[in-house]
Amino acid sequence: MEHHHDHHHEVNSLNKAFILGISLNIIFVVAEFTAGFWYNSLSLLSDAGHNLGDVASLILAMLAFRLAKVHPTAHYTYGYKKSTVLVSLLNAVILLVAVGVIASESISKLIHPHPVEGEAIAWVAGIGVIINALTAWLFMKDKDKDLNVKGAYLHMAADALVSIGVVISGVIISYTGWYIIDPIIGLLIAIIIVYSTWGLLRDSIRLSLDGVPAGMDIKNIEKIVYKVSGVKDVHHLHIWPISTTETALTAHIRTNNMENMEKIKQDIKHSLAEKGISHATLEFETSESKCCEEKDCPQI
């Protein structure tokens, strides 16, 4: 009962963290876009675009967090968990489109520099540092419990650093009048977005195609199964994502000890669970049985 109460408290705490983080960042994005247009600052506009991506990432993380709790139905036997993968792919694509717009505008302003208000840029971006750092802090204590929460934490912490870069550009402009610093910072932010988004895009495509999740080695998983007492052979081993945080496996297991099949099955599932595979479906065969899905199975 105490464990259930703790879990319920943890869920409520994370829900509040997501709602507060999203609200703070939406307000800041609107303010930063407005200031960017008003002061004609590309570094502010590009940072606002990046922060808009953060809002999408936070919404995605909250969506994944909530969809993981939805019960399976007759039509969706795994629930709606796979939608977290599709949304992460969409998020990555939107971020890369935004990078194209930022880069194009930055190059245009490098060729035709415009005067900007350095002091105003520094003040607005300074507020961004505080909001990004505060949002990162909201997720700090739960970042090691859930992959989506960790993603939100890392994203916001990185953004605090990006905003510090914009503050520096604003200070330099206000003291030197070097307006060219503004589009240069815009390009640097675009490069940072590409660097941070590329991994998300790669992993999202891999998970969308039911590829083995990053960080999981199929040969290593095979060795873990072979180590279980009673296992003579493993074949037709498939690993794929159910969601951004849950992984499934199917395999054919050959054993000479069918009497202990239940124990062997539980031992395998326990070993796989320790490696992050929460859904394992195992088909058992004896040494005499012929698996008619194998490549060497004779044609009938």
Q: Is 252 exposed, middle or buried (0-12, 13-18, 19+ CB in 10 A)?
A: middle
Same domain, 168 and 238: no
- pLDDT tens for residues 257-299? 888 889 999 999 999 998 889 899 999 988 777 766 555 554 4
- Cα–Cα distances in Å, from 115 out to 42, 142, 266? 11, 44, 69
- pLDDT tens for residues 113-147? 767 777 877 888 888 889 989 988 888 877 766 66
Same domain, 201 and 241: no
Same domain, 200 and 76: yes
In a domain, 166, yes or no: yes
- Cα–Cα distances in Å, from 268 out to 209, 219, 247, 260? 26, 15, 15, 12
Residues of the chain with pLDDT under 70: 1-12, 114, 144-148, 291-300
Widest distance between CA atoms in the chain: 83
pTM over 0.75: no
Tokens at 96, concatenated: 């890369």
User: Distance between CA atoms of 2 and 10, rounded to whole angstroms?
Assistant: 12
Same domain, 74 and 33: yes
Same domain, 198 and 222: no
**Owning domain of residue 260:** 218-285
Helix/strand/coil percent split, the chain, to 5: 65, 10, 25
Same domain, 11 and 42: yes
Q: In whole angstroms, how large is the CA radius of gyration of the chain?
A: 25
